[in-house]
Amino acid sequence: MSTNNRNLSMAEALREALYEEMKENDEVFLMGQDIGTPNGWGGPFTVCRGLVEEFGSERVRNVPISEKAIVGCCVGSAMMGMKPVGEVQYSDFLFTCMDEIVNEAAKMRYMSNGQYKVPMVFRAPTGATTRGAQHAQSPEGMFMHIPGLKVVAPSNAYDGKGLLKAAIRDDSPVLFFEHKLLYGAKNRDESDEIEANTHVPEDDYIVPLGKAKIKKSGNDITMISLLYTVHLALQAANILKDDGIDSEVIDLRSLAPLDEETIMKSVEKTKKVLIIEEDNKTLGWGAEIAALIAENFQNVKIKRVAALDVPIPFAPNLENYVIPNKENILNEVEKIFV
Amino acid sequence: MKKSRKLKKERLLDIFRDMYKIRYFEDEVYYMFLEGKLPGTVHQCQGQEAVAVGVCSALRKNDFITSTHRSHGHSLAKGMAVDKAMAELFAKKSGCCGAKGGSMHFADIENGIIPSIAVVGEGLIIGPGLALAYSMKNTDQVAVTFFGDGAVSTGAFHEGINISSLWELPIVFVCENNQYAASTSFDSMSPVENVVDRASAYNIPAFKVNGMDVLEVYEVANKAISKARSTGGPTLIECETFRYKGHSRSDPQQYKDKDEVEFWKERDPIDNYKKLLIKKEIVSEKEIEKIEKEVEELIKDAIKKAEQAEKPSVEEVSNYVY
* Interface touch B128/A113, C-beta < 8 Å: no
Question: A185-189, A215-219, A284-288, B168-172 — which is least confidently predicted?
Answer: A185-189
**What is the reported pLDDT for A187?**
56
**What is the reported pLDDT for B214?**
98
For residue range B212-266, list pLDDT tens digits in order.
Answer: 999 999 999 999 999 999 989 999 999 999 999 988 878 888 898 899 999 999 9
* Interface touch A82/B321, C-beta < 8 Å: no
Cα within 13 Å of Cα(B278), Cβ side: 12
For residue range B62-115, list pLDDT tens digits in order.
Answer: 999 999 999 999 999 999 999 999 999 999 999 999 999 999 999 999 999 999
Whether B125 and A68 have beta carbons less than 8 Å apart is answered as yes
Q: Is A135 a catalytic residue?
A: yes
Q: Strands B206-210 and B235-240: what pairing?
A: parallel
Q: What is the Cα A272 distance to its own chain's centre? A: 25
CA distance B3 to B277: 12
pLDDT greater than 60 at residue A29: yes
Give rounded-to-5 percent helix, strand, coil for chain A: 40, 20, 40
The one-character DSSP state at A209 is: T
Query: A3 pLDDT band (50/70/90 cuts)?
Result: low
**What is the reported pLDDT for B252?**
86
**Is A68 part of the contact surface with chain B (CB cutoff 8 Å)?**
yes
* Interface touch A63/B163, C-beta < 8 Å: yes
For residue range A122-148, list pLDDT tens digits in order.
Answer: 999 999 999 999 999 999 999 999 999
Residue A260: which of A210, A323, A330 has the closest Cα? A210
Which of A33, A62, A112 would best serve as a mutation to test chain B binding (most B beta carbons within 10 A)?
Answer: A112
* Interface touch B115/A64, C-beta < 8 Å: no
* Interface touch B319/A114, C-beta < 8 Å: yes
Whether B216 and B3 have beta carbons less than 8 Å apart is answered as yes
Question: A8-12, A32-36, A138-142, B185-189 — which is least confidently predicted?
Answer: B185-189
CA distance A97 to A109: 19
3-state secondary structure of B172: strand
3-state secondary structure of A115: coil
Query: A9 pLDDT band (50/70/90 cuts)?
Result: very high
Residue B56: which of B11, B24, B96 has the closest Cα? B11
Q: What angle do CA B53, B55, B60 make, to 5 degrees?
A: 100
pLDDT greater than 80 at residue A193: no
Q: What is the CA radius of gyration of chain B?
A: 19
* Interface touch B129/A79, C-beta < 8 Å: yes
pLDDT greater than 90 at residue B195: yes
Q: Find the DSSP H helices in A49-139.
A: 51-55, 67-79, 98, 108-111
Q: In terms of CA atoms, which chain B residue is nearest residue A103? A: B119
pLDDT greater than 80 at residue B6: no
- Averaged pLDDT for residues A180-194: 74
pLDDT greater than 80 at residue A229: yes
Q: Strands A247-251 and A221-225: what pairing?
A: parallel
Q: Find the DSSP H helices in chain B.
A: 9-34, 49-56, 72-78, 82-89, 123-137, 155-166, 186-189, 214-229, 258-265, 269-279, 285-308
pLDDT greater than 60 at residue A1: no
**What is the reported pLDDT for A192?**
62
Query: A162 pLDDT band (50/70/90 cuts)?
Result: very high
Which of A26, A110, A144 would best serve as a mutation to test chain B binding (most B beta carbons within 10 A)?
Answer: A110
Whether B114 and B66 have beta carbons less than 8 Å apart is answered as yes
- The DSSP line for B106-147 is --BGGGTBPPP--STTTHHHHHHHHHHHHHHHT----EEEEE
Q: In terms of CA atoms, which chain A residue is nearest residue B115? A: A112
A&B contacts, CB < 8 Å = 131
ipTM tops 0.90: yes
CA distance A41 to A163: 23
**Is A109 part of the contact surface with chain B (CB cutoff 8 Å)?**
yes
Whether B101 and B107 have beta carbons less than 8 Å apart is answered as yes
Among B115, B143, B319, the residue with its CB nearest the CB of A108 is B115
CA distance A117 to A91: 24
Within 8 A by CB and 6+ apart from B158, the residues are none
3-state secondary structure of B62: coil
CA distance A122 to A74: 8
CA distance A182 to A127: 10
Whether B147 and B174 have beta carbons less than 8 Å apart is answered as yes
- Write the CA distances from A208 to A152, A216, A252, B11, B81, integer angstroms: 10, 19, 12, 53, 41
- Averaged pLDDT for residues A104-109: 98
Among A58, A104, A111, the residue with its CB nearest the CB of B100 is A111
- The better pLDDT of the pair A5, B120 is held by B120
Longest dimension (CA), chain B: 57
Contacts of B136 in chain A (CB under 8 A): 29, 58-59, 77, 82
CA distance A174 to A153: 10
* Interface touch B162/A150, C-beta < 8 Å: no
**What is the reported pLDDT for A338?**
82
Q: Find the DSSP H helices in A192-300.
A: 228-242, 260-270, 285-296
One-letter amino acid of A74:
C
How far does A73 lie from chain B, in Å, by closest CA? 4
- Beta bridge partners, B145, equal B66, B173
How far does B146 lie from chain A, in Å, by closest CA? 15
How far does A40 lie from chain B, in Å, by closest CA? 20
For residue range A30-64, list pLDDT tens digits in order.
Answer: 999 999 998 899 999 999 999 999 999 999 999 99
